[in-house]
Amino acid sequence: MSTARRSLGLWMLIALVIGNIIGSGVFVLPAALAPYGAASLLGWGISLGGALMLALVYARLAQIVPNHGGAYAYARRAFGDQVGFLAAWSYWVCVWSANAAIAVAFAGSLGSVWPAATATPLRGALCALGALWVCTSISLSGVREAGYTAIVTTSLKLVPLLVFGVLGLAWVHASAFHPFNPSGHPLVSVASSVAALTLWAFLGLETATVPTGVVRDPQRTVPRATVIGMTIAGVATMLACTVVVGMLPADVLHASAAPMAEAARRVWGNAAGIGIGVIATISCFGALNGWVLLQAQTTLAPALDGLFPKAFARLDKRGTPWFGLLTSSVLASALIVSNYSRTLVALFTFTILLSTAATLLPYLITVLAWWRIDSASSLLRRWIAIGALAFSVWALIGTGTETMLWGVVLLLAGLPIYVWQRRAVRQLPAP
């Protein structure tokens, strides 16, 4: 990759990591956590700790394996082409299905501010498709343009989110956290349930490791962006969600489709509630922009290595892998269109399930790859890897049988392409 095409610097990469982690979850997650009260902090701690350990593993691998492609590059280096393909295929499915989910979340957020935009399922689907293809157009205009968009949208959502979290502390009612564990379930069970709910709020921590071919000084920039971005996004998300739980009565919180906006409206008036709705819409658009950029880079590395069809390695004059970008957006669009008759909530739930099933396998493979590649690491790093491995296995089991079955189906769907590509390579004439 030429120096001219290395367009992403540290701040752009940090913005991409934060923007990809902070999407729609922070604005709706407090309602799901309402039954657990203050005990939800235990689950938050597990998820945040596990995500940070995974971020440190990715950061370390980015230093010692400079290859383009993130989890794919690490898996191929450690275990060969077959496992590398599985990681690349699974992560690619995760990315384009996540884009469908985020586009749907954008439509839902826009509908809370402008109800007419999503008054019918068809209108909601058209809003989601519009956002997806606007972001696709931004990525087609160049990596640097997408990077600048990430900085702007991340600033527009991160700053208000932090301000809301800090100011909201003054309106937190101690009674909202009594009893400490209103669910009555054992604390171990509560921690597991909450951690499972909050896990997907941290997906995207690996963002910086994927587009290393367009990053300036990647072996220094990628690890720093991964750890800094994950820490900022994790703390901001945990703070905002916990504050909302303490601001609203449990019955209101549990029934609200937009708990953060409801809390702002009750404390600071209708204008504040609308403002949070606008921020949520910007947040979803910013996350979508970052993930669309990621989908353009996800298929490039395996295509260059002959594991994906050669078309995915085609670059335009700006260095954008346009075929992979457009193919991914078409698949995400098809997912939206084929399910548009569902409600936005049902469609969002379905696509999140699909994306989560696809992303946990690359996480697990990455930790195992680190164990093989960096076998001479320090004792501290080994303990971090053990923690990340335990968290990945626990998270995979905790997603449930249905999610794991989806993961198996997705992997099997990719095997014909792998077999076709290997056959094509064997048929090439010897040099």
215 bridge partner residues: 8
With tokens 């407090």, the residue in question is 30
pLDDT per residue as tens digits for the range 373-395:
887 677 888 888 889 888 888 77
Asked if residue 52 has pLDDT above 60, the reply is yes
Ordered DSSP codes for 117-178: GGSSHHHHHHHHHHHHHHHHHHHHT-HHHHHHHHHHHHHHHHHHHHHHHHHHGGG--GGGG-
Assign 10 a pLDDT band (cuts: 50, 70, 90): confident
pLDDT per residue as tens digits for the range 344-369:
556 566 666 667 777 878 888 999 99
Poorest-pLDDT segment among 103-112, 298-307, 358-367: 103-112
CA-to-CA dists, residue 96 to 51, 111, 121, 280, 408, angstroms: 22, 23, 21, 21, 17
Assign 430 a pLDDT band (cuts: 50, 70, 90): very low
Cβ atoms of 132 and 101 closer than 8 Å: no
Token digits of residue 255: 């029934």
Task: Determine the pLDDT at residue 131.
Answer: 93
Average pLDDT over residues 97-121: 82
Cβ atoms of 1 and 136 closer than 8 Å: no
State the DSSP code for 215: B
pLDDT per residue as tens digits for the range 213-260:
778 888 888 889 988 988 898 888 888 888 888 888 877 777 666 788
Query: Which has the closest alpha carbon to 26: 35, 15, 18, 38?
Result: 18
Distance CA 428, CA 422 (A): 10
Assign 180 a pLDDT band (cuts: 50, 70, 90): confident
Distance CA 125, CA 118 (A): 8
Asked if residue 326 has pLDDT above 90, the reply is yes
